């Protein structure tokens, strides 16, 4: 997964897959989903991203699976 923030346009691109998109669906006027040929989400585009989140820092945290007892 890759997250790119384009400061000049205040746009965030979240790439979930390297599959090429074949369709874009608009969730609202600022959020778009790109789908591959199987209908899977390959990326999410967020326009005016700073209105949705503080774009100065992105935190990634991996939560391990609970240990089985």
Nearest Cα to 31, choosing from 14, 15, 44? 44
Each residue of 19-40: pLDDT tens digit? 999 999 999 999 999 999 999 9
pLDDT value, residue 48: 96
40-45 mean pLDDT: 98
For the record, the structure tokens of 68 come out as 């089985």
39-46 mean pLDDT: 97
47-65 mean pLDDT: 87
The ranges assigned to domains in the chain are 2-51
pTM for the full predicted model: 0.83
Measure CA of the first residue to CA of the last residue in the chain; give whole Å: 32
For residue 15, the Cα-to-chain-centroid distance in whole angstroms is: 6
Residues in contact with 35: Cβ distance below 8 Å, sequence separation at least 6, in sequence order: 21, 22, 23, 24, 25, 41, 42
Q: What share of the chain in percent tops pLDDT 90?
A: 74
């Amino acid at each position: 997964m890759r997250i790119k923030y384009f400061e000049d346009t205040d746009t965030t691109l979240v790439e979930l897959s390297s599959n090429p998109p074949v369709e874009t669906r608009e969730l609202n006027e600022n959020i778009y989903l790109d789908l591959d040929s199987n209908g899977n989400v390959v990326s999410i585009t967020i326009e005016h991203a700073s209105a949705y989140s503080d774009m100065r820092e992105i935190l990634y945290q991996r939560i391990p699976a609970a240990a089985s007892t």
